[in-house]
């Protein structure tokens, strides 16, 4: 008997219902009973689908349990978790959802799922004190343009062609009111203290945040954001600091070529 | 009395569930200890840690791992072991436990406690893995007997002998899950009382109780499935009273992980267990 080989046979059969149960497992009465082996298959399946149901509760509410389980079953068959941390399972579930032709009637579904990924990331991110407006005031104004932003560890953002944060909020309770699909939303997700917060950003703010997150200086981000209407550098920066999105602004150490 | 393999109090404990955080903070129920699944707290920060920190300041804590895959043939996941070490350091729990089972394979983490053959080869591997865990954590752990639905043809070591040998060679203690004893013994046509009578009772550092589901196998015979979704069944509770009568009082956890009820239902289960533990203690005092 080889330990590794026995477990490899078991793992293969437990994850592939097309395979018969391994031939080296038995019951007291003799040969293996497929109904008993099915308990393990069911546990693995239900456990992983359940992890997705817990993490993507709004996605599930939008499409209903049967459809969600169908998607989750197909995903689980192709994507086993890389680690035992079930709260982190399914980071690429939104991409999988987006690839399904069946979701044409709910074109915002994958974006809602991505918002839920951002939400759960923010929930478990490191606890760090955000910088305050007083901290901001101590930075000499003539140095601001060359600063880069360090976002709070919980911060994540996404842009959707659909009002994804509005849809998410409407689906927090089982009775979902009727809603119109308005214009797209850019959402900044952060947990500066105990609650995960969703902030919808104006297009100019979104361009600003997008550039900062990608490592550009405040000056560069402001330049990009100025292409959109109603951009005001000071208002936008103070706004970001006020909601606890930033940990620090530090002077750029790189020379611009 | 031998050295106790755990320093949890000889009381009933409860699995800590997020839906009960608020009740526990506000009402401070008289519960012997709380136990958490280690993997549920392996994020960097956030509300789950804040709740657990507050509760660990008020109650003894037990850390129960479900993801180390100690029974696997492959080496332990060092990243995961490091996460467990960090969590253990953070909370200094009074007990750390894991399972005689495996859950990770080359295809990934399977999120179930799967069975292994009991042989000299697997025994050596499990001893090595437990030893590694204990070396990294710098403390002994408790290893739990599994619920199983099938047997391996290749097994030539009895489960109790296997657990006893792991404990002797690695220095770990044992976590006796009485519901798992009922499930496995029923499924494998073994008398559960005979199992308990052979179990190395002094090595028990903690006991688990939970509910099972019933099913019918391909031969039309009743078999049991570990479910953790109900109160402890009467036959398991009677078996537990037998364990306490033999072993004396031990820290005993109510495991209720699925269809989690309102807190008072769990609390009533704990009270039932505390009654048994108080009786067991009195019996021991009379005997001495």
Give the 3-state secondary structure of B265-283: HHHHHHHHHHHHHHHHHHH
Comparing CB atoms, the residue among B103, B117, B223 nearest residue A36 is B223
Host domain of residue B91: 12-287
* ipTM summary value: 0.94
Subunit contact A8:B104, Cβ cutoff 8 A: no
Report if residue B6 sits inside a domain: no
Report if residue B201 sits inside a domain: yes
- Residues in chain B, total: 288
- The neighbouring-strand residues paired with A26 are A31, B151
Please tell me which residue of chain A has the smallest CA distance to B186. A28
Look at phi and psi of residue A42 and say left if phi exceeds 0, alpha if psi is from -120 to 50, else beta: alpha
Are residues A154 and A125 in contact, defined by beta-carbon separation less than 8 angstroms? Answer: yes
Q: For the domain that residue B231 is a member of, what is the CATH number? A: 3.20.20.150
Nearest-Cα distance to chain A for B143, in Å, is 18
Comparing CB atoms, the residue among B66, B106, B150 nearest residue A25 is B150
- The secondary structure element, H or E, covering residue B62 is strand B61-64
Nearest-Cα distance to chain B for A65, in Å, is 17
To probe the interface with B, which of A29, A32, A34, A39 has the most B CB atoms within 10 Å?
A39
Subunit contact B121:A124, Cβ cutoff 8 A: no
Nearest-Cα distance to chain A for B44, in Å, is 5
Q: For the segment B38-75, what is each residue's pLDDT rounded down to a tens digit?
A: 999 999 999 999 999 999 999 999 999 999 999 999 99
Report if residue B2 sits inside a domain: no
Report if residue B5 sits inside a domain: no
CA of B155: how far to CAs of A16, A41, B162, in Å? 24, 22, 10
Report if residue B42 sits inside a domain: yes
Question: In B, which residues are within 8 Å of A35 by CB distance?
Answer: 215-218
Report if residue B4 sits inside a domain: no
In tens digits, chain A (257 residues) has pLDDT values of 599 999 999 999 999 999 999 999 999 888 889 999 999 999 999 999 999 999 999 999 999 999 999 999 999 999 999 999 999 999 999 999 999 999 989 999 999 999 999 999 999 999 999 999 999 999 999 999 999 999 999 999 999 999 999 999 999 988 888 888 889 999 999 999 999 999 999 999 999 999 999 999 999 999 999 999 999 999 999 999 999 999 999 987 655 44
Comparing CB atoms, the residue among A26, A29, A51 nearest residue B111 is A51
Report if residue B237 sits inside a domain: yes
Beta-carbon pairs below 8 A across chains A and B: 161
Strands B33-37 and B12-15 turn out to be: parallel
Angle among Cα B122, B123, B128 to the nearest 5 degrees reads: 95
Nearest-Cα distance to chain B for A124, in Å, is 5
A61 CB burial (10 A radius; 0-12, 13-18, 19+)? middle
Confidence of residue B3 (pLDDT cuts 50, 70, 90): very low
**Domains of chain B: total:** 1
Subunit contact A84:B67, Cβ cutoff 8 A: yes
Minimal CA–CA distance to A157: which of A147, A165, A168, A149?
A165
Report if residue B1 sits inside a domain: no
To probe the interface with A, which of B22, B68, B70, B108 has the most A CB atoms within 10 Å?
B108
Nearest-Cα distance to chain B for A99, in Å, is 22
Question: In A, which residues are within 8 Å of B111 by CB distance?
Answer: 43-44, 47-48, 51, 81, 84, 86
Comparing CB atoms, the residue among B67, B119, B188 nearest residue A1 is B119
């Amino acid at each position: 008997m080889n330990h590794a080989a026995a477990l490899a046979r078991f793992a293969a059969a437990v994850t592939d219902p097309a395979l018969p149960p391994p031939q080296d497992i038995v019951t007291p009465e003799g040969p293996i009973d497929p109904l008993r082996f099915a308990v393990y298959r069911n546990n693995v399946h239900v456990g992983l689908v359940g992890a997705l149901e817990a993490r993507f509760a709004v996605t599930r509410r939008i499409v209903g349990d049967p459809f969600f389980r169908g998607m989750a079953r197909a995903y689980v068959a192709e994507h086993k978790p890389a680690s035992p941390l079930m709260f982190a399972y399914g980071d690429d579930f939104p991409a999988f959802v987006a690839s399904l032709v069946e979701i044409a009637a709910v074109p915002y579904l994958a974006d809602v799922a991505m918002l839920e990924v951002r939400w759960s990331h923010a929930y478990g991110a490191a606890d760090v004190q955000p910088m305050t407006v007083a901290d901001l005031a101590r930075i000499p104004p003539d140095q601001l343009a060359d600063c880069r932003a360090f976002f709070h560890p919980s911060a994540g953002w996404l842009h959707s062609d659909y009002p994804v944060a509005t849809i998410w909020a409407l689906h927090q309770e089982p009775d979902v009111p009727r809603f119109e699909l308005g214009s797209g939303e850019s959402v900044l997700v952060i947990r500066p203290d105990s609650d995960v917060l969703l902030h919808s950003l104006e297009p100019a703010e979104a361009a600003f945040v997008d550039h900062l997150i990608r490592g550009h200086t405040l000056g560069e981000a402001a330049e990009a954001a100025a292409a959109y209407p109603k951009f005001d550098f000071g208002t936008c920066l103070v706004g970001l600091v006020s909601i606890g999105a930033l940990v620090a602004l530090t002077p750029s150490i790189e020379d611009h070529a | 009395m031998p050295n106790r393999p755990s320093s949890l109090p000889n009381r009933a404990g409860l699995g800590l569930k997020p839906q009960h955080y608020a009740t526990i903070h506000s009402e401070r129920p008289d519960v012997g200890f709380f136990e958490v699944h280690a993997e549920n707290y392996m994020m960097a920060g956030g509300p789950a840690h804040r709740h657990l920190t507050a509760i660990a300041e008020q109650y003894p804590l037990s850390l129960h791992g479900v993801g180390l895959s100690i029974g696997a043939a492959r080496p332990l996941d060092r990243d995961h072991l490091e996460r467990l070490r960090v969590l253990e350091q953070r909370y200094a729990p009074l007990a750390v436990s894991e399972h005689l089972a495996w859950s990770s394979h080359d295809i990934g983490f399977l999120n179930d406690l799967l069975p292994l053959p009991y042989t000299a080869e697997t025994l050596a591997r499990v001893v090595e893995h437990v030893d590694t865990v204990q070396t990294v954590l710098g403390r002994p752990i408790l290893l739990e007997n599994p619920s199983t639905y099938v047997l391996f043809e290749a097994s030539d070591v009895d489960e109790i002998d296997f657990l006893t040998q792991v404990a002797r060679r690695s220095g770990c203690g044992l976590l006796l899950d009485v519901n798992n004893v009922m499930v496995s013994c029923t499924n494998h046509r073994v008398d559960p009382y005979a199992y308990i009578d052979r179990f190395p009772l002094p090595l028990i550092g903690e006991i688990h109780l939970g509910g099972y589901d019933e099913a019918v196998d391909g031969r039309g015979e009743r078999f049991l499935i570990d479910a953790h979704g109900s109160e402890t069944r009467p036959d398991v509770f009677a078996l537990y009273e037998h364990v306490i009568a033999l072993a004396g009082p031990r820290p005993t956890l109510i495991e209720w992980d699925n269809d989690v009820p309102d807190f008072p239902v769990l609390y009533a289960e704990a009270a039932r267990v505390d009654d048994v533990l108080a009786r067991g203690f009195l019996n021991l005092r009379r005997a001495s």
